[in-house]
């Protein structure tokens, strides 16, 4: 088994005195797509925030490339190559598409910026056409592509996507999942946090089902997709 890129062990966290994650263990291997599925309120976004350093873990360890990062600042975590694309397409609406992208790449220097921008444009040709357009004028799907593209500008080794399909039309969701596969084909590991069970399980190699702050099911995605427990625990049927 390849050494894990991300290793989370016994992670507890929450807000105020409310515990959201109650002991979560999982890992992501290099170049893998792993999906974490769960209903609203299961703790998916909290998990993404804890890994990227925005929310402090209460207990447990998070190791990225063998270094402990559970106490690191978000900026430091990004510099190490772990990039989170937060939920809800948080783009900079008054900046142009190009300015949005370039903001993701400042840490990597000018020369890398052009290389990365061209790479992002090759993945998202539509962004290339709209380079000088204000990001706020893009459609919902395009804004999501921009948010992901901006994440790619920072040369991630692991990209965390927090509900990228949220609010997109079914056709765009199809397109999005193809793009996620393309990104992964370039050797970037993806942690896909989603509610869209069927499609997430199609692109991912492994899956974890989060419920009430704990993993209730985990395994190869194909196997989970056929697990009778999935419907019972996750969809409550």
Partner 1 sequence: MKTYLPIFVVVAVLALVPFVTASNVVLNFLVVTLLIALAGQGWNLLGGYGGQYSFGHAAFFGTGAYVTAILQVQYGINAWFGLLIGIAAGALVGIVIGALSFRWGLRGSYFSLVTLAFAEVLRIVASVAPITGAGVGTLIKLDLRPEAFQFQSRAPFYWIALGLVGLSLIVVRGIENSRFGAYLVAIRENEDAARALGVDTFSVKLAAMIVSAAITAAAGCFYAQYFLFLDAAIAYGTWISIDALLAPIVGGVGTLFGPLLGALIIKMLGESTKLVTGGAPGLDLAIYGLLLIAVVGLAPRGIAGLLSALVPRRFRPPSVPEHHHG
Report the residue from 93, 140, 219, 220 that binds partner 1 according to the rule CB under 8 A: 93
* 150 interacts with partner 1 by CB under 8 A: yes
Pick from 107, 112, 126, 181: which binds partner 1 (CB under 8 A)?
A: 107
Going by C-alpha positions, the residue among 8, 79, 3 that lies closest to residue 43 is: 8
Closer by beta carbon to partner 1, 130 or else 206: 130
CB of 127 to partner 1, least distance (A): 16
3-state secondary structure (DSSP) of residue 147: helix
Please give the residues from 119 up to 138 whose contact with partner 1 meets the rule CB under 8 A: 132
Report which of 20, 24, 35, 16 is spatially closest to residue 198, judged by C-alpha positions: 35
Residue 230 CB, nearest distance to partner 1 (Å)? 30
| Rounded distance between C-alpha atoms, residue 21 and residue 105, angstroms | 32
Q: Which residues, at least 6 apart from 32, have a Cβ–Cβ distance to it below 8 Å? A: 5, 189, 190, 205, 206
Q: Per CB under 8 A, does 15 bind partner 1?
A: no
Are the C-beta atoms of residues 82 and 69 closer than 8 Å to each other? yes
d(CA 163, CA 107): 25
Binding piece for partner 1, criterion CB under 8 A, among 82-90, 121-129, 164-172, 215-223: 82-90
Residues at the site binding partner 1, with contacts judged by CB under 8 A: 52, 54, 73-75, 77-79, 83-86, 90-96, 99, 102-104, 106-107, 132, 147, 150-151, 154
């Amino acid at each position: 088994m390849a050494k894990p890129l991300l290793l989370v062990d016994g992670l507890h966290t929450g807000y105020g005195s409310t515990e959201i994650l109650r002991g979560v263990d999982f890992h992501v291997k290099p170049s893998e797509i792993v999906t974490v599925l769960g209903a609203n309120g299961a703790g998916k976004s909290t998990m993404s925030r804890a890994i990227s350093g925005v929310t402090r873990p209460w207990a447990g360890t998070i190791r990225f490339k063998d270094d402990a990062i559970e106490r690191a600042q978000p900026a430091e975590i990004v510099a190490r190559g772990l990039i989170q694309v937060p939920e809800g397409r948080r783009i900079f609406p008054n900046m142009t598409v190009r300015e949005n992208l370039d903001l993701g790449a400042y840490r990597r220097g000018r020369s890398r910026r052009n290389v990365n921008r061209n790479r992002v444009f090759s993945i998202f040709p539509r962004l290339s056409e709209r380079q000088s357009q204000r990001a706020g004028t893009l459609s919902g799907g395009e804004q999501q592509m921009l948010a992901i593209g901006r994440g790619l500008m920072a040369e991630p080794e692991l990209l965390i996507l927090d509900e990228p399909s949220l609010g997109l039309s079914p056709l765009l969701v199809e397109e999005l999942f193809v793009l996620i596969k393309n990104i992964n084909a370039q050797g970037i590991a993806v942690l896909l946090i989603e509610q869209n069970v069927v499609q997430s399980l199609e692109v991912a190699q492994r899956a974890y089902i989060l419920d009430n702050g704990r993993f209730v099911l985990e395994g190869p995605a194909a196997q989970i997709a056929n697990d009778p427990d999935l419907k019972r625990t996750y969809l409550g049927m």
